[in-house]
């Protein structure tokens, strides 16, 4: 018996919401509710069976994915007579949607182990095993709807937190920040060491360009962007205007549309001009051209489309003194709070006749011009490229004072925008309440480093992960330090 049962608020809430969850055979629940049921495992977990009557155990439901592809990634499922397997889970209302939604042809769904559906139809031919939720819920659907509707879909239930979250909870904010700072230092120095290794063969300037391009590729297109930059000495003219460089880069990338839209005059005029320039030189540069197939577009926001990023890179390349500006910025005497804006001023470009008004070749003209570079991208460029490059260069030149200044900037830089890696890491490792410790970009970088070093080498069950041990040792060393200080101060 719950105290809230006779409660006025609870009665009204349930009265208002009940209609949303009433359903019959012809009116199945919303897919979002099925996802919440799966994430919170509100099912009778004993004796689960696929629609082909094979027993299975859900050892971990996986993590809700935000970037397109299957709904849950990294689930751990054990089918009868098999060892546990890690893979993805797709949630759908009907088993037939596997084919109807084209998952059977989509390479991003290749790793799906289980298709979780509402109905109890058999699996599609060559499709994954199917688990029907309809008859295995642990409470009536209306009750589940009320219980889960206010749970944000991207919040990880407490029971699914990582094994390190307990020892990390024992750390006060100060020591936790210190641990993240140490991990962030490792990340920064690793990047810098990579830059130094590349610079030995390619030179400092080329190393900077390759990594600027790579950062512009974001997560999905880092490699094609870097590959284009690697052949820069082949295609970079001694002197060229932004438009000529855009034509060359877009042509080299394989991202030029083969046809005109025939409906958007502005876009067609621009595409025609680009092709006029590119067709004359494409044979000359065929050895460094890329096929369109190397680019990833799925789950990409239009603002991050590689066509747009290449247009921005063309402006940077056409500006003869970008490097000098970055170097001067590195040695300048700026207060910490002025850092992001001052770097944005260097990297932002003036208005582009086409790209300030269009996200991509195909998109309609925007009502208002949009900058080609946003503030959050500047933070990514700063912590991943500009600062480590300036730091290792200063180190190579024996300038320890400048290295200190760059380090200070790195640790003072305000946080970047949230992303799916950070969101999940925060919840798995820190729990939603400890967001305060991520108040700098470096703290975020530290958390990402822990994910790369530990989560990426383990699975959703934290199998054989040694980070909890590291965290416990860190807690113990902090306590020892505190005791030592207290005794010393007594
Ligand atoms: S894999 Fe390791 S670092 Fe990642 S959440 Fe689990 S215990 Fe923590």
Nearest one of 460, 305, 327, 479 to 391, comparing CA atoms: 327
**DSSP H helical ranges for 51-172:** 97-100, 141-148, 165-169
Average pLDDT over residues 7-33: 64
Residue to substitute in 162, 431, 448 for testing ligand 1 pocket (most ligand atoms within 8 angstroms of CB): 162
Average pLDDT over residues 61-89: 90
Rounded to 5 degrees, what are φ and ψ at 137? -65, 150
DSSP structural state of residue 277: H
Nearest one of 377, 388, 435 to 411, comparing CA atoms: 388
**Domain co-membership, 357 together with 249:** yes
Distance 161 CA to ligand 1 centre (A): 8
User: Is residue 152 in some structural domain?
Assistant: yes
**Domain co-membership, 78 together with 146:** yes
pLDDT range class, residue 10, cuts 50, 70, 90: low
Dihedral of the CA atoms 176, 181, 187, 188 (nearest 10)? 170
Distance 457 CA to ligand 1 centre (A): 9
Average pLDDT over residues 374-403: 95
For atom 4 of ligand 1, the residue with the nearest CA is: 455
Distance 49 CA to ligand 1 centre (A): 29
**Domain co-membership, 134 together with 219:** no
Share of the chain above pLDDT 70, in %: 89
Residue to substitute in 424, 428, 461 for testing ligand 1 pocket (most ligand atoms within 8 angstroms of CB): 428
pLDDT range class, residue 216, cuts 50, 70, 90: very high
**Domain co-membership, 44 together with 119:** yes
pLDDT range class, residue 382, cuts 50, 70, 90: very high
pLDDT range class, residue 24, cuts 50, 70, 90: very low
Average pLDDT over residues 186-207: 95
What does the block give as tokens for 331?
A: 């040695």
Bridge partner list, 132: 117
DSSP string of 94-109, one letter each residue? -TTHHHHTTGGG-GGG
User: Is residue 430 in some structural domain?
Assistant: no
> pLDDT by residue (tens digit) across 285-331?
999 999 999 998 877 888 889 999 999 999 999 987 899 999 999 99
pTM of the model: 0.81
Q: Which ligand 1 atom sits closest to the C-alpha of 466?
A: 2
Distance 477 CA to ligand 1 centre (A): 20
> pLDDT by residue (tens digit) across 398-455?
999 999 999 999 999 999 988 888 888 988 998 766 667 888 999 999 999 999 999 9
Distinct helix (H) and strand (E) counts, the chain: 20, 6
Task: State which of 331, 365, 385 marks the end of a domain.
Answer: 385
Q: According to the model, what pLDDT value does residue 418 have?
A: 84
Q: Which ligand 1 atom sits closest to the C-alpha of 428?
A: 5
Q: According to the model, what pLDDT value does residue 275 have?
A: 93
Distance 255 CA to ligand 1 centre (A): 39
Distance 310 CA to ligand 1 centre (A): 37
The residues near 204 (Cβ < 8 Å, ≥ 6 apart) are: 389, 393
Work out the widest C-alpha separation in the chain, in whole angstroms. 82
User: Is residue 399 in some structural domain?
Assistant: no
For atom 5 of ligand 1, the residue with the nearest CA is: 162
Range of the domain at 66: 3-160
DSSP string of 299-355, one letter each residue? T--GGG-HHHHHHHHHHHHHSTTHHHHHHHHHHS---GGGHHHHHHHHH-----TTT
User: How far apart are alpha carbons 272 and 259 in whole angstroms?
Assistant: 9
Q: Which ligand 1 atom sits closest to the C-alpha of 468?
A: 7
pLDDT range class, residue 490, cuts 50, 70, 90: very low
**Domain co-membership, 147 together with 216:** no
**Domain co-membership, 154 together with 221:** no
**Domain co-membership, 243 together with 318:** yes
Q: Which ligand 1 atom sits closest to the C-alpha of 165?
A: 8
Q: Is 382:330 a contact under the CB 8 Å cutoff?
A: no
Element (H, E) at 38: helix 31-39
Q: Is 40:155 a contact under the CB 8 Å cutoff?
A: no
DSSP structural state of residue 429: I
> pLDDT by residue (tens digit) across 458-472?
999 999 999 999 988
Burial of 454 (0-12, 13-18, 19+ CB in 10 A): buried
**Domain co-membership, 101 together with 217:** no
Say how many domains are in the chain.
Answer: 2
* Site residues for ligand 1, CB cut-off 6 Å: 162-164, 428-429, 450, 454-455, 458, 462, 465, 467-468
DSSP string of 172-225, one letter each residue? -HHHHHHHHHHHHHHHHHHHHHHHHHHHHHH-HHHHHHHHHHHHHTTTTSHHHH
Q: Are strands 112-117 and 85-92 parallel, antiparallel or unpaired?
A: parallel
Q: Is the pLDDT of residue 146 over 90?
A: no
């Amino acid at each position: 018996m719950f105290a809230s049962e006779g409660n006025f608020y609870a009665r009204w809430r349930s009265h208002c919401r009940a209609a949303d969850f009433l359903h019959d055979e012809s009116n199945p629940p919303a897919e979002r509710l099925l996802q919440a049921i799966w994430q919170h495992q509100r099912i009778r977990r004993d004796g689960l069976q696929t629609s082909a009557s094979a027993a299975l155990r859900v050892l971990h439901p996986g993590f809700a994915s935000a970037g397109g592809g299957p709904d849950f990634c990294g689930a751990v499922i054990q089918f009868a007579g098999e060892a546990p397997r890690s893979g993805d889970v797709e949630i759908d209302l009907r088993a037939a949607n596997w084919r109807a939604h084209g998952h059977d042809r989509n390479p991003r769904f290749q790793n799906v182990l289980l298709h979780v559906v509402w109905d109890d139809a058999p699996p599609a031919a060559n499709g994954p095993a199917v688990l029907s939720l309809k008859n295995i819920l642990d409470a009536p659907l209306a009750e589940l709807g009320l219980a889960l509707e206010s749970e944000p879909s991207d919040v990880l239930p407490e029971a699914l937190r990582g094994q390190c979250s307990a020892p990390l909870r024992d750390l006060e904010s100060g020591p936790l920040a210190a641990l993240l700072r140490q991990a962030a230092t490792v990340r920064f120095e690793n990047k810098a060491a990579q830059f130094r290794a590349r610079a030995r063969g390619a030179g400092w300037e080329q190393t900077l360009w390759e990594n600027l391009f790579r950062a512009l590729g974001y997560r999905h297109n880092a490699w094609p962007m870097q590959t284009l930059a690697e052949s820069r000495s082949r295609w970079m003219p001694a002197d060229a205007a932004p438009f000529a460089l855009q034509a060359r880069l877009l042509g080299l990338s394989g991202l030029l549309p083969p046809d005109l839209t025939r409906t958007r005059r502005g876009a067609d005029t621009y595409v025609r001009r680009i092709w006029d320039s590119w067709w004359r030189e494409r044979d000359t540069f065929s050895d460094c051209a890329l096929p369109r197939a190397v680019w990833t577009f799925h789950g990409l926001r239009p603002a991050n489309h590689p066509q747009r990023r290449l247009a921005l890179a063309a402006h940077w390349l056409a500006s003869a003194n970008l490097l000098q500006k970055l170097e001067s910025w590195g040695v300048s005497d700026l207060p910490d709070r002025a850092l992001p804006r001052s770097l944005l001023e260097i990297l932002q470009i003036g208005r582009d006749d086409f790209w300030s008004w269009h996200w991509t070749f195909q998109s309609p003209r925007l009502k208002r011009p949009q900058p080609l570079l946003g503030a959050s991208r500047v933070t990514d460029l700063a912590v991943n490229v500009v600062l480590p490059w300036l730091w290792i260069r200063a180190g190579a030149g024996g300038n320890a004072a400048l290295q200190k200044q760059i380090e200070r900037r790195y640790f003072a830089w305000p946080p970047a925008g949230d992303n799916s890696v950070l969101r999940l890491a925060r919840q798995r490792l820190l729990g939603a309440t400890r967001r305060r410790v991520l108040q700098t970009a470096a703290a975020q970088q530290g958390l990402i480093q822990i994910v790369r070093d530990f989560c990426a080498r383990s699975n959703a069950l934290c199998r054989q992960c040694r980070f909890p041990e590291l965290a416990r040792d860190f807690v113990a060393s902090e306590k020892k330090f505190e005791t030592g200080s207290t005794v010393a101060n007594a």
